[in-house]
Amino acid sequence: MTLEVKKVLPAFTDERGDIVDVITDKTITHVGRITFTSGSVRASHYHKKSNQYNYVLSGKIELTVKNLKDNTPIEIIPLESNDLILVPPFWYHSLKSISNAELMIFTTSPRNDGGYEDDTFRISDIKNFTL
C-alpha cells in the first residue's frame, strides 16, 4: 500500500477568490504551520496512534515514507503547493524541502500536554530500522 497524494482544489470560487476545504476529518486536535529553508529536513519519525495530514502551502518537498508494520520499501513522494497527504500510524515520515517551503500539519493527537511527543518515535537511520 502506498500513500495517496490529493491535489486540493477550491470548493468555491468567485471574483473575491477561492474557498478551499482542506480537511473534513472531525478528529483533528492539532493544527500547525511549519516553514522550511531550502534543503532542510524535518520529522524523521513515526506515530503509533496519530494520523497526520500534511498540506503544502508553498514550495516543493520530498516526503520519505515507509510502512513499518509491513516493512515495505522506502518511498519518496514529491509534494508541491496544494498537495495533501495522510500519513497513518506506523508510517515513518521525513520531510525534505527542495525549495523554501511552508506546510500545515493536522494531527489526531493534541500537541499540548505531551500528547504529540508521547506518540512521536524518532528514527535516525530508516534504512536499517525494523520494529
- The string of pLDDT tens digits covering residues 12-21 is 999 999 999 9
50 in Cβ contact with 107 (< 8 Å): yes
50 in Cβ contact with 106 (< 8 Å): no
C-alpha cell at 69: 508494520
The larger pLDDT score, comparing residue 115 to residue 31, is at 31
> Which is nearest to 51 in space by CA: 32, 69, 75, 25?
25
CA torsion 111→82→63→25, rounded to 10°?
Answer: 40
Count of the separate structural domains present in the chain: 1
47 in Cβ contact with 89 (< 8 Å): yes
The larger pLDDT score, comparing residue 102 to residue 71, is at 102
Q: pLDDT (tens digit, 9 = 90+) per residue, 45-99?
A: 999 999 999 999 999 999 999 999 998 899 999 999 999 999 999 999 999 999 9
Residue at 26 is within a domain = no
**pLDDT score, position 40:** 97
Residue at 9 is within a domain = no
What's 79's domain CATH number? 2.60.120.10
Residue at 18 is within a domain = no
